[in-house]
Amino acid sequence: EAGVTQFPSHSVIEKGQTVTLRCDPISGHDNLYWYRRVMGKEIKFLLHFVKESKQDESGMPNNRFLAERTGGTYSTLKVQPAELEDSGVYFCASSQNRNPLYGYTFGSGTRLTVV
Amino acid sequence: DQQVKQNSPSLSVQEGRISILNCDYTNSMFDYFLWYKKYPAEGPTFLISISSIKDKNEDGRFTVFLNKSAKHLSLHIVPSQPGDSAVYFCAVNAGNMLTFGGGTRLMVKP
């Protein structure tokens, strides 16, 4: 089966611009998550979709970040306007199983650099 | 106020020997613990997990130990292989959200 696909793999944008990250989860996975790793620190939760509904968005840093999952398939994460501190690696993950001992499958991430 | 801490940023081990990676957590109510491995330019890959009702879980060369009283878990890799060189993250799953430690870079020397 195809894994979790993220696009683009790298993005360099100027402060104040808009960037949209895309995630295609494993087909049939209802659960989709966004995480990010800033400055080589720990990986932090951003939000969780179940199908097209936001289950938990407690990790979203501020209202410059908007995530959508129309139709319950792929998801986008838009940052508008981007700030320098938004630089980092954004990971998407998906799972079908809600068993907390069953790890998610992560994508390779999008490395975002804001200059 | 990190809830999950990995105090060793790096660890170097000789091939064939045991690697022990450590992780501490603050909340005694956590029930589910996981280890992930991450290679450069890749996403984290799930490795092994354990629930709080157990104190040990083994999968091939990988064993996770949980000490609830000390709020400590560890990952043992034996024997270590050069291909195990990666960054290892421990994580707790609370409310279907993973909280990760900062990671430990393991280098296994041939």
Supply the DSSP string of B16-76, one letter for each residue: TS-EEEEEEES-TT--EEEEEEE-TTS--EEEEEEETT-SEEEETTEEEEEETTTTEEEEE
Mean pLDDT, rounded, for A34-57: 92
Query: What's the pLDDT tens digit per position in B57-109?
Result: 999 999 999 999 999 999 999 999 999 999 999 999 887 789 999 999 999 99
If you count residue pairs, one on A and one on B, with CB atoms under 8 Å apart, how many are there?
64
* Pairwise CB contact (< 8 Å): A41 & B102: yes
* Pairwise CB contact (< 8 Å): A91 & B95: no
Chain A positions in Cβ-Cβ contact with residue B42 (cut-off 8 Å): 108-109
Query: Residue A103 carries which side chain, given as an amino acid letter?
Result: G
* Pairwise CB contact (< 8 Å): A109 & B43: yes
CB under 8 Å to B108, separation ≥6 — which residues? B12, B13, B14, B15, B19, B80, B81, B82, B83, B84, B85
pLDDT at B44: 95
pLDDT at A101: 82
- The CA-based dihedral angle spanning residues A78, A84, A88, A91, taken in that order and rounded to the nearest 10 degrees: -10
Which residue is listed with tokens 């993005």?
A11
Work out the percent of chain A whose per-residue pLDDT is above 90.
84
Q: Please, which pLDDT band fits residue A1 given cuts at 50, 70 and 90?
A: low
Query: What's the pLDDT tens digit per position in A51-101?
Result: 999 999 999 999 999 999 988 899 999 999 999 999 999 999 999 877 888
Interface test with A, best of B46, B57, B105 (most A CBs within 10 A): B46
Find out whether B73 and B67 touch, Cβ atoms under 8 Å: yes
* Cα separation, A83 vs A72, whole angstroms: 29
Name residue A88's beta-bridge partners. A112
Find out whether A52 and A5 touch, Cβ atoms under 8 Å: no
Closest residue of chain A to B40, computed from CA coordinates: A108
* Pairwise CB contact (< 8 Å): A109 & B49: no
Query: B107 CA to chain A: closest CA distance, Å?
Result: 17
Mean pLDDT, rounded, for A9-29: 96
